[in-house]
Structure 1
Amino acid sequence: MNNSAVAYNAYKNNSINYASKEQLLLMLVDGAVRYVKQGKDAIINKDMGKAHIALIKCQDIFSELMISLDTSNNQWADNLYKVYAFIKEKLVEANLKKNIDVIDDIMPLIEEIRNTWHAAYKASIGSR
């Protein structure tokens, strides 16, 4: 590994280790969008191994988002959990079938979740 790669990995690890909960959430939703796009591109390019890895990473992100929610006595969190579970189910389907149509169906939802969390974060910073 060259020096710039080592420096980049150190920077990346530090940014994760010292990020706030809100920043970590934003990193996760950004990653979900990136990995679902990578999965779609890999299917288009007939690289099923790469597609599988990318879609599994996206599934893992939604699993993490699901377990991070406190759904006890919280209708909003319970509803969000159901949305995350639906997306994860569709990601599994897309991965098993390597079906771009399924990805195209859920991509706008994943992007909207990312956009919503980014907007909420910006609003919370503005109110401080």
Structure 2
Amino acid sequence: MTQFITSEALHKKTSQEITALLYEACVTNLESAIKTIDEKDYIQANENLKKATDILHRLGAGINYEAGIVADQLDTLYNYMADKLVEANYNKDVTSINEVLNILTEIMNAWNLAMKKNADAQPKIIRQKANAYEQTAIYE
């Protein structure tokens, strides 16, 4: 069952959450492409692979290059995966799609873990700021 997000809900998402949604959508399209190739529905497989490739290009366009070498490496990975999917689409090659799916799943899992750790750390930071304020506040 496909779950759609309303435009209003999408606008309330952080850029990190939108990136996570893009990863999920890309994985879903890759899994659907594998299934439709196995079913010999090449037209639908083509659509799924084109969507996955488009998502990878969008992810690449959203990279913050000020983040350093990791950003450059991520860009290289996105380009590699997009090129691999173009070849896989032309040849209807499930092996190449699985390779991209494995790479993307690793990136997605790391991204989700980093988001979770950041969310867990935020209340601690807020408490530290509150404590710092309380320590410098003047009481009458």
Give the TM-score of the pair, scaled to structure 2. 0.80
Question: What is the CA–CA distance in structure 2 between the aligned matches of 1:73 and 1:49, rounded to whole Å?
Answer: 39
Q: 95, 99, 105: which one pairs with 2:99?
A: 105
- Give CA-to-partner distance per residue, 1:71-124, whole Å, 9 cap, x none: 257211001100111111111111111111111222211111111111111011
Q: 1:125 to 1:52 in 2, by over 3 A?
A: same
Residues 31-51 of structure 1, C-alpha deviations (whole Å, 9 max, x = no match)? 111010011111001111110
Once superposed, what is the RMSD of the aligned Cα atoms? 1.6
| Counterpart Cα distance in 2 of 1:57 and 1:14 | 23
Alignment partner of 1:75 is 2:69: yes
- Of structures 1 and 2, the one scoring higher in RCO (CA 8 A, sep 6+) is 1
Report the residue type matching 1:102 in the other structure: S
Q: For the Cα contact (< 8 Å) 1:33–1:114, is it kept in 2?
A: no
In structure 1, which of residues 83, 90, 94 is the aligned counterpart of residue 88 of structure 2? 94
Greater C-alpha radius of gyration: 2
Query: What is the identity, as a one-letter code, of the residue corresponding to 1:36?
Result: L
Q: Which residue in the other structure is 2:6 paired with? A: 12
Q: Which amino acid aligns with 2:109?
A: N
1:21 to 15, 18, 26: 15
What TM-score do the two structures reach when normalised by structure 1?
Answer: 0.87
Q: Which amino acid aligns with 2:116?
A: K
Aligned residues: 120
Report the counterpart of residue 35 of structure 2 in structure 1.
41
Which blocks of at least 5 consecutive residues in structure 2 are unaligned? 123-140
Overall identity of the aligned pairs, in %: 24
2:108 is the alignment partner of 1:114: yes
